[in-house]
Amino acid sequence: MKERKVRWVMIGTDENRAVLHVEVIFWSGKRKYPPSLVSGKYSPHFVTKGTTEYLGVCFLDGTECFFDEPALGNVQPLYPDTMDYSSLVEHAQFLIYEGAAAVGEGLVLGRTIPHPIKQKRK
């Protein structure tokens, strides 16, 4: 069995606020229309395969979605100060939930840790 490297991430850190680059597939028959990933308003939950924890996320942007076809997107954690997003490491597989219904699946392609911005004094 291949060991998976796990990096410990502390809640509230910049690492836990990482923007995730993901590939997602939304299944036909689970929604009336595919979601818009470009609006910045689509906020499902990701559940890393092998776990049961719902992780709230928001799509910042992405490509146009069609059912049963891969789409790309950038996702931001919604609760980095109270939830641990460390299970969403590169190559992690996850299910996409809207409430109790699984509507799709995805793969983490990479993570970008936000660069801290220093406020200028006036």
Sign of CA dihedral 7, 11, 15, 17: positive
Structural domains present in the chain: 15-112 (2.40.30.10)
pTM: 0.84
44-90 pLDDT, tens per residue?
A: 999 999 999 999 999 999 999 999 999 999 999 999 999 999 999 99
User: What pLDDT was estimated at residue 116?
Assistant: 61
How far are the Cα atoms of 17, 46, 76, 77, 93 from residue 82, in angstroms, in the given order?
A: 11, 16, 14, 10, 22
Of the candidates 102, 78, 113, 80, which has an alpha carbon nearest to the alpha carbon of residue 24?
A: 102
